[in-house]
């Protein structure tokens, strides 16, 4: 049975083959004689144009997500897998070694503490954490969604930030040199290590080329600021703060880069989602990132006690649960690492070979086969990551189902007035039977009391009716007796209505429990 991913990949390959067939099909059969007399240089230029067109088309068809959507201004959308992680995190993609080939560089206190979370910094003062993509984002039109989880309250001097910069920090940062002055047992003065390397802006450099988004605390209030810098100093380029309360909350950061209408410059738009509300933070330039490539990274610093009594304050735990990077640029791959292995390079070199003019059926067929292999290998490379993502989503759905069932059981216990671990449907039936017996017995006693009162009243009425002077009193007594009879009937109806309501609620609860059992447990 064909999976949606396999079907989408094969469909993309088929579309690529049909498109390339149309590209290479002669417009007129009579032109074959003139094509055979074309110069060798013209063939080479045709080869180059075809290879470039084929590679560009393959990049557009690499993922099933690489489709145009009418509701999104006909923009191409391709997931940049090397710059994303969601669901369960593959720890092989994280590495703290300089020059490693893993997708992400981690250092300091940053680590994958949970299957679906990378903790940047713990609830310990004077700690820092780094999470940086090793490959630049090769795109002039992209967006990044980052899900943060903040546990606790931000302390003074604490902050974490998102960066889009020109510097290759994973290659620049030397862990051996950085930690060399650190003496184990000295109290963990990591801020002095950061100062030695000039990393004094929340574990980052004071000057850079690029832009960023800072989440920090000021006078017991959390805030968000944007900045762009071209080696002039970050602190002097901070935007006015946007005061947002995100202590003990899960927030989403949205950063997008889009070129201007004339393609002369690019603008970065920043939004933050807290709860269900999106808050516009700023719109700024790219700083010193003048080309289409910039490195994405995250830093965090927990702060340090500055006054007596602050030593006991525990900073907030800062974690990242999901990163989704999407490329919308039709002319750049976004992530070249997906193509940078031996098999891909062989096919690439074969497509770019100068000895193929692609003017005959043999070369055309070979080119299409290589293009299909590129697509198939790309899809196969990311099957594991997609599987992890799907497993993570399935785990989340299972957890949500467990919470729903737990809440439903608690609601049932509250309705039945039972404590956890006791009672059941048999107890419910027993209570219903007892309530019915009680209401029936009470109703009989009430009817007997009313009947006795009516008999006595009739006797009194017959006695007093002979005296004319008591006529008014008797009239009022008759009215009171009628009201008493009507109230008795209303009480009986009310008891009956209560019994019907209890039976209806019991039936609804029973049907809902059965539906849950059939849907999730049978």
Distances (CA, A) of 159 to 224, 243, 244, 431: 10, 14, 14, 59
Say if residues 478 and 486 touch (Cβ distance below 8 Å): no
The whole-angstrom separation of Cα 501 and Cα 480 is 31
| pLDDT band, very low/low/confident/very high, at 400 (cuts 50, 70, 90) | confident
pTM of the model: 0.58
Residue 442 or residue 240, greater confidence: 240
Q: Average the pLDDT over each of 128-137, 385-394, 401-410 and give the range with the smallest value.
A: 385-394
- DSSP code of 424? -
Q: Which pLDDT value is given to residue 269?
A: 94
The pLDDT tens digits of the residues spanning 459-510 come to: 766 665 555 555 566 667 677 767 766 767 777 778 788 888 888 888 888 8
Instruction: Write the Ramachandran bin of 316: left for phi over 0, alpha for psi from -120 to 50, otherwise beta.
Output: beta
Work out whether strand 159-165 and strand 209-218 pair parallel, antiparallel, or are unpaired: antiparallel
| pLDDT band, very low/low/confident/very high, at 346 (cuts 50, 70, 90) | low
Q: Which pLDDT value is given to residue 279?
A: 95
Distances (CA, A) of 162 to 89, 95, 255: 20, 19, 9
Q: Which pLDDT value is given to residue 272?
A: 96
Residue 239, burial from CB neighbour count under 10 angstroms (0-12, 13-18, 19+): middle
| Structure tokens, 178 | 């950085």
The pLDDT tens digits of the residues spanning 161-188 come to: 999 999 999 888 888 888 887 766 554 5
Task: Please report, for the chain, how many H helices and E strands are present, in that order.
Answer: 11, 18
Helix, strand or coil, per DSSP, at residue 115: coil
Rounded to a whole number of angstroms, the distance between the first and last alpha carbons of the chain is 25
Q: Which pLDDT value is given to residue 103?
A: 87
Residue 329: in which H helix or E strand, if any?
none
SS (H, E, C) 142-199: EEEEEEEEEECCCCCCCEEEEEEECCCHHHHCCHHHHHCCCCCCCCCCHHHHHHHCCC
Percent of the chain with pLDDT over 70: 64
The pLDDT tens digits of the residues spanning 418-469 come to: 555 455 556 666 766 776 777 677 677 777 777 777 777 777 666 655 555 5
What is the average pLDDT across 122-133? Answer: 92
Q: Which pLDDT value is given to residue 12?
A: 44
CA-closest candidate to residue 346, choices 373, 322, 368:
373
């Amino acid at each position: 049975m064909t999976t949606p991913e396999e079907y989408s990949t094969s469909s993309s390959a088929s579309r690529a083959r049909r498109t390339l067939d149309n590209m290479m099909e002669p417009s007129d059969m009579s032109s074959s004689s003139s094509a055979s007399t074309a110069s060798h240089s013209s063939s080479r230029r045709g080869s180059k144009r075809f290879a470039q067109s084929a590679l560009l088309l393959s990049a557009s068809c690499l993922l099933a997500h690489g489709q145009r959507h009418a509701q999104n201004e006909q923009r191409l959308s391709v997931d940049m897998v090397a710059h994303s992680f969601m669901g369960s995190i593959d720890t092989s993609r994280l590495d703290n070694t300089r020059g490693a080939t893993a997708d992400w560089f981690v250092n300091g206190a940053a680590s994958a503490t949970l299957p679906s979370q990378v903790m940047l910094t713990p609830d310990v003062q004077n700690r820092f954490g780094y999470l940086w993509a090793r490959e630049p984002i090769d795109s002039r039109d992209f967006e990044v969604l980052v899900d943060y989880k903040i546990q606790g309250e931000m302390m003074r001097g604490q902050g974490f930030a998102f960066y889009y910069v020109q510097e290759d920090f994973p290659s620049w940062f030397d862990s051996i040199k950085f930690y060399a002055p650190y003496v184990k047992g000295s109290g963990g003065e990591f801020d002095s290590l950061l100062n030695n390397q000039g990393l004094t802006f929340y574990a980052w450099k004071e000057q850079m080329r690029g832009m960023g988004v800072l989440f920090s605390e000021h006078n017991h209030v959390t805030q968000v600021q944007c900045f762009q810098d071209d080696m002039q100093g970050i602190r002097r380029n901070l935007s006015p703060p946007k005061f947002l309360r995100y202590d003990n909350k899960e927030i989403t950061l949205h950063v997008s880069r889009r070129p201007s209408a004339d393609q002369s410059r690019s603008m970065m738009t920043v939004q933050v989602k807290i709860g269900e509300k999106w808050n516009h933070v700023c719109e700024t330039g790219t700083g010193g990132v003048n080309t289409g490539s910039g490195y994405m990274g995250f830093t965090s610093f927990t702060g340090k006690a500055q006054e007596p009594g602050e030593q006991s304050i525990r900073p907030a735990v800062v974690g990242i649960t999901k990163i989704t990077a999407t490329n919308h640029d039709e002319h750049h791959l976004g992530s070249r690492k997906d193509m940078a292995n031996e098999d891909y390079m062989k096919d690439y070199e074969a497509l770019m070979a100068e000895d193929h003019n692609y003017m005959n059926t043999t070369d055309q067929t070979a080119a299409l086969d290589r293009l299909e292999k590129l697509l198939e290998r790309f899809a196969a490379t990311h099957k594991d990551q997609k599987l992890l993502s799907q497993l993570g989503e399935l785990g989340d759905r299972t957890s949500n189902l467990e919470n729903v069932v737990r809440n439903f059981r608690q609601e049932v216990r509250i309705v039945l007035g039972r404590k956890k671990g006791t009672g059941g449907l048999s107890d419910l039936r027993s209570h219903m039977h007892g309530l019915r017996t009680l209401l029936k017995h009470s109703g009989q006693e009430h009817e007997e009391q009313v009947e006795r009162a009516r008999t006595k009243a009739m006797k009194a009425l017959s006695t007093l009716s002979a005296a004319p002077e008591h006529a008014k009193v008797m009239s009022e007594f008759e009215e009171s007796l009628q009201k008493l009879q009507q109230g008795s009937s209303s009480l009986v109806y009310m008891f009956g209505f209560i019994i019907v309501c209890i039976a209806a609620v019991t039936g609804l609860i029973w049907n809902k429990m059965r539906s849950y059992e059939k849907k999730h447990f049978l």
